[in-house]
Structure 1
Amino acid sequence: MRSDQVRLNCGITIPMVGFGTYSYQNDRKTTEEAVHMALKMGYRHFDTAKIYGSEAALGNALKEAFDNGSVVDREDVFITSKLWSADHHDPVSALTNTLKKLGMEYVDMYLVHWPVKLKPWASYPVPNEEDYEKLDLESTWAAMEKCLDLGLCRGIGVSNFSSKKIQHLVDFASVPPAINQVEMHPMWRQEKLREICEDHKVHVSAYSPLGGPGNAWGSTAVVEHPVIQSIARKHRATPAQVALKWGLSKGSSVIVKSFNGERMKENKAAFDITLDTVDIKEIDKLEEWKLMRGEFLCNHTTSPYKSIQQLWDGEI
C-alpha cells in the first residue's frame, strides 16, 4: 500500500488527501475545470454530497478524464458522497439518484451526512420548523448496509457523529462505519473522538482541516495563528501545509477545498513536509475553537437537539 493511502476497516484504501467540491458560489463549469486541474496535480480522492450540488459537475469531469484515458481510470479514483437528511427514509433511492447525477455505477464511500432526519421535501441546507422527523438510526443504517450489499458503494460511514453516537452505532451495526468525517484542524483536534474511533477501527476524515476559511461559518484563525506561522517559517512551508500535515500526522485523511490552482498545489504538497515532535506538541497545546457548530439544527422546537451540546453530546 502506498504511503499516501490508508486501509479502511472494510478492506479498501482511501487517499489521505481529498479534494472537496462543496461550493455554492461556483457554477458547474468552474467545478469541472477545478476537478480536471486536481486530477492533473495528482488528486485521486473527490468528496461531494447531494446537498453540495456538485455531483453532476464532478461526475462529468471525471467521465471526461476516464474517456480520455490518458489521465485516470475509474478504479484509480476514490469518490465519496453523502446521504442528505431528507433521504433517511430511502437511502437506496437516494444513492441511486446520486449515481445517476455522477454517471457512475458506484461510489467508493457513502456517508450519513448528519445524525438528523428531515421530511422528504427538505432538500435544502437549513431546515425549517416543520421539516424534522424522529431519527431511527437503526433503520437508516440497515438501508446503508443494503446500499453496500447491492454494490452501489464499496464502503459506508458517517459524518458529524460524536463519540457517543459512534459508540451507539457500532453497538448495533452489522457492518461498522468505515469513516467518520468531521471538522478537525489544529484548533479543533477531536482527541476524544479520535480515540473512540481508533478503538472501533473507524477512520477519521477531516473536513475544514484549515478551519474553513472562505466559508460563511469558517475562519482564518488556524492559518493566521502565530504558532502555526512560526512552525511554517521553521520548515519553509506555508501555514496551510503545517495545518494539513498536523492532521495527516494524526492518521486522518484531510479534505481540502480550494479551486485556486496555486493553493491546490500547496495543499497537495503538504504530504511531503515533516513536522517534528516539538511541532506536534506545540500545536496540541493550542486553544480549541469549533467553527461548524450546527446551530442551524438546534433552533427549532421540533428538532431533536435543543442545543449544540445535545447535538455534539457535550463535546463542544
Structure 2
Amino acid sequence: MGTEEQGLGGDLRLGGRSVARVGFGMGSLGRTEDSAASRDRGVSVLRQAFDDGVRIFDTAHFYGAGHANSLLAEAFAGNRDEVVVATKAGARATPEGPAPMTAAQHPDELRASVEDNLATLASDYVDIVYLRRMDFRPGLVVEEDQMVNLEDQLAELIALREEGKVRGIGLSHVRKEQVEAALPAGIVAVQNIYNLLDRRDEGLLELCRDHDAAWIPYFPLGGGGSFFGLPRVVDDPVVIEIAHAMGVTPQQVGMAWLLEHSPNTAVISGTSNPDHLRENLSAGRISLDAEAMRRLDTRHVAGD
C-alpha cells in the first residue's frame, strides 16, 4: 500500500468536461461568519484548491443563505469557465428556523432557486443543478403541499437548460426508479447518501455507471450529526487499522475506498482549513491494495 502520483483520483466526465475526481464541498465555508477576515480566508482556501487541481465545486444557495456562493464568485471572478459549479434546487434557506432549509419543490420555486444561485454566484449559468427531492428519510420530508411530480420538476429544469442558465441536470436524494424515469432527460450526475458503511444505493451507483452519469455521494464519510445519525467511517476499527499501517488518516482511507470502488465516483469534501484541504486532496493519491480493498469491502453496515 502507498501513494501514487495519479492526480486527484484520476478524471471523470462531468458537465461535458474531464475533471479531477476529488472536489470541494462548500457546506463548511457556508457556515463561516461573513466578515472581511473570514471571507479572505475562505477565498484563499478556494484558490488553493484550484491551484492544487480541484475543478468541481459543490454548493447551494441555501448554504449560508448565499454566503457560500458569494465566496465562489469572488474566488473565481476571473476564471469562472475553468471550474464546474454544481448547485441544488428544491430547498430554500431558513436561517431562523429549526433546520437550515425547507422544501421549495414546485417548478416556479426551482426556477427561483436557480435565479438566486445565478445572482449570488455572479454567473449567467451553472454547470449542474441537482434537483434535491425530499421524499424519504433521513433528512427533511415534504408536507403534502410540497409534493410535486418528478416529471413537472424535470420539465422546468429542461426549460432552464434550453435557456442556457443550466448546463447539466442532476438528481439528489432519489430512489433508483426515479433516476430510471429521469434518464431520458439527460441526467449527468446523482447525489445520494453513500459511503463505506452505508451502501443501500449500490444498485443506483451501478445504474449511474451504466448510463455514464457521475456518482457524487454526500456524507461520503458518514456522520451528518444527530439529524442524520449515520455511522462514521473514520471510527471503524478496520479503517483505523489500515490507515495506521499506511501512515495516512482514516478520512483518507474512507475517501480512497470510494474512488477505488467505482470509476464514475467523485468525492466531495469541504473545509475552511488549509491543512485539512491538503489532507483531503491527498486521498486522491492513495492506492489501496487488493487486501485492503477486500477487508474494507466487508465493512458495510447499512445495506447488508
Which TM-score band (shorter chain)? 0.7 to 0.9
**Runs (5+) with no aligned partner, structure 2:** 1-6, 91-102
Residue 66 of structure 1 deviates from its aligned partner by 3.6
The answer as to 2:45 corresponding to 1:37 is yes
Residue 214 of structure 1 deviates from its aligned partner by 5.8
Give the AA of the match of 2:279. E
Give the AA of the match of 2:193. E
Give the equivalent residue in structure 2 for 1:192.
203
Report the 3-state secondary structure (helix = DSSP H, G, I; strand = E; otherwise coil) of the residue aligned with 1:207. coil
Give the equivalent residue in structure 2 for 1:149.
162
Q: What TM-score do you get using the length of structure 2 for normalisation?
A: 0.79
Which of the numbers 250, 269, 272 marks the counterpart of 1:256?
269
Q: What TM-score do you get using the length of structure 1 for normalisation?
A: 0.77
Determine if contact 1:36/1:65 at 8 Å carries over to the other structure: yes
Give the equivalent residue in structure 2 for 1:52.
63
Which of the numbers 105, 120, 123 marks the counterpart of 1:104?
123
Report the 3-state secondary structure (helix = DSSP H, G, I; strand = E; otherwise coil) of the residue aligned with 1:154. coil
Residue 213 of structure 1 deviates from its aligned partner by 5.8
C-alpha separation in 2, matches of 1:156 and 1:214: 28
Which of the numbers 221, 234, 238 marks the counterpart of 2:232?
221
C-alpha separation in 2, matches of 1:140 and 1:160: 14
Give the alignment's Cα RMSD to 1 decimal.
Answer: 2.7
Could you list the per-position Cα deviations for residues 82-103 of structure 1 after superposition, in whole angstroms to 9, with x for gaps in the alignment? 1124143223332122101221
Residue 18 of structure 1 deviates from its aligned partner by 1.8
C-alpha separation in 2, matches of 1:83 and 1:213: 20
C-alpha separation in 1, matches of 2:229 and 2:128: 25
Determine if contact 2:61/2:120 at 8 Å carries over to the other structure: no
C-alpha separation in 1, matches of 2:181 and 2:73: 38
Residue 108 of structure 1 deviates from its aligned partner by 1.0
Residue 197 of structure 1 deviates from its aligned partner by 1.7
Residue 281 of structure 1 deviates from its aligned partner by 1.7
The answer as to 2:113 corresponding to 1:94 is yes
Structure-to-structure mapping, 1:2-21, within 5 angstroms: 4-8=10-14, 11-21=16-26
Report the 3-state secondary structure (helix = DSSP H, G, I; strand = E; otherwise coil) of the residue aligned with 1:183. coil
Percent sequence identity over aligned pairs:
29
**Runs (5+) with no aligned partner, structure 1:** 118-124, 290-314
Residue 288 of structure 1 deviates from its aligned partner by 1.7
Could you list the per-position Cα deviations for residues 26-52 of structure 1 after superposition, in whole angstroms to 9, with x for gaps in the alignment? 323446633421321333321112332
